[in-house]
Chains A and B, each alone.
Chain A
Amino acid sequence: MREKTMKLVVTFPSTSAAMAMEKYCKESQAPGRLIPVPRAITAGCGMAWMALPGERPLLEQVIRDHGVTAEGWYELML
């Protein structure tokens, strides 16, 4: 498996919110990508946005600018 490093994970209440996050991050050239929600957060279905911890301000800016509904912010070894 991959070598684990500390990551920033953002979760969303719906697939639509995750799609909005991807769209606006791409438009804003903000970093990260969609991953399956890690089980450390939830065992259910779903997608999350993964970036690096230091990139949180950029993501917060995207979320503020475009009214994306984020659910939770986590720092995890992934």
Chain B
Amino acid sequence: MIYLDNAATTLHKPEQVIAAVVEAMSSMGNSGRGTHGGSLAASRTIYSAREKAAALFGCPRADHVAFTCNSTEALNIAINGGIPAGSHVISTDLEHNSVLRPLYRLEREGRASLSFVPADRQGRIDYADFERLLRPETRAVVCTHASNLTGNLVDIARVGAFAREHGLLFIVDASQTAGVFPIDMEKMGIDVLCFTGHKGLMGPQGTGGLCLREGIDIRPWKVGGSGVQTYLETQPEEYPTRLEAGTLNGHGLAGLAAALDFLQETGLAAIHQKETALMRRFYAGVSAIDGVTVYGDFTGDRAAVVALNVRDYDSGEVSDVLAVDYDIATRPGAHCAPRMHRALGTAEQGAVRFSFGWFNTAEEVDKAIAAIREIAA
């Protein structure tokens, strides 16, 4: 199979990630539940994952990295627990439902009002709109680092400067950029960075987390077992325990720690360069084919995603032909990005998304271009 659905999950993982999970499954106890060898092995491994994630994202403290199952859980914790009642929140048309649905729910429950920075037909935003949408009661900005549909990047440092200037909580969804693009919470003015482990970080599914700036107050939505302060009737206040009730996915986090080592050894710059070259090669090939419409802004740096349609063909049918006749894996439909599709004018047709990863090759890209050429003929 030629796997070009890396924006959904990276199917191919570094060998050391797989080995770390296998090793953990025969050696790890429950982290923070004693001082026997098994428990300590889990605690040490998970703490090392915190240190590595903090280093990768410029999070000032390893104990301010709280682990979750994925970005969606991290975003739910940050949005529900960090945005005060009665707030006005600014977000963008680029967001995934993992941001939109928690925000819409706050709005429906009368706990927040929302404004969205609009995107144009190429999925671009005008940064002046953040200022335009600002109100006296604005308290937070929730923003993706890159569209999961078009691959367009958001200048997070610029939005962070806006948030800091106006004293707003700044929550960033790094689902599509973590592990590929440099992220520095301090320099970019990020208060809460939400990430998933199974995409660009190349770790296991069921891992993710949120990195918190010091002093950020997040109310946990789940409370329970923590391994500490057993007789306290409330969840301990200290991070990361505050947000991690229940047993963590220690086996998965062992894999994530190994994945973070792989990224460190390989270098984000090398990964970014390779994925960008593959994405640009594919874009150059398909954009020259008669009947192919490519969406997004390709003028600057961007995530390794190319969304397209062939003539007026059903995107689901094109993706099915690619899978069945060419053994090429892509993602059709709406990509959980309803506002982005409406902005692009593709709400009805959907789009076929090709997303490239570290383990893809130029030969695979060329085969995908040839397949699209045949389908469009």
Name the segment of A17-25, A38-46, A51-59, A60-68 touching the other chain: A38-46
A43 touches B375 (CB 8 A): no
B321 touches A1 (CB 8 A): yes
Kindly identify which residue among B321, B336, B349, B375 contacts A39, using a CB–CB cutoff of 8 Å. B349
A36 touches B333 (CB 8 A): yes
A35 touches B320 (CB 8 A): yes
Q: Enumerate B303-354 residues with CB–CB distance to A below 8 Å.
A: 310, 313-321, 325, 332-336, 347-350
B320 touches A36 (CB 8 A): yes
**Which residues from B are CB-within-8-Å of A40?**
314
**Which residues from A are CB-within-8-Å of B310?**
1
Complex Cα–Cα for A45 and B333 (A)? 6
Kindly identify which residue among B332, B349, B375 contacts A36, using a CB–CB cutoff of 8 Å. B332
The binding surface of chain A is classed by DSSP as: loop
Chain A min CB distance to B213 (Å): 34
**Which residues from A are CB-within-8-Å of B317?**
1-2, 36, 38, 78
Kindly identify which residue among A1, A35, A37 contacts B375, using a CB–CB cutoff of 8 Å. A1
Kindly identify which residue among A1, A36, A43, A45 contacts B347, using a CB–CB cutoff of 8 Å. A43
Q: Which of B334, B335, B336 has the most CB of A within 10 A?
A: B334
**Which residues from A are CB-within-8-Å of B333?**
36-37, 43-46
Q: Which of A2, A40, A43, A46 has the most CB of B within 10 A?
A: A43
CB-defined A-B contacts under 8 Å, sample of 17? A1-B310, A1-B313, A1-B321, A2-B317, A35-B316, A36-B315, A36-B319, A36-B320, A36-B332, A36-B333, A39-B314, A39-B316, A43-B347, A43-B349, A44-B333, A45-B333, A45-B335
CB within 8 Å of B: which residues of A? 1-2, 35-40, 43-46, 78
Closest 6 CB pairs of A and B: A36-B316, A39-B314, A45-B333, A36-B332, A35-B320, A43-B348
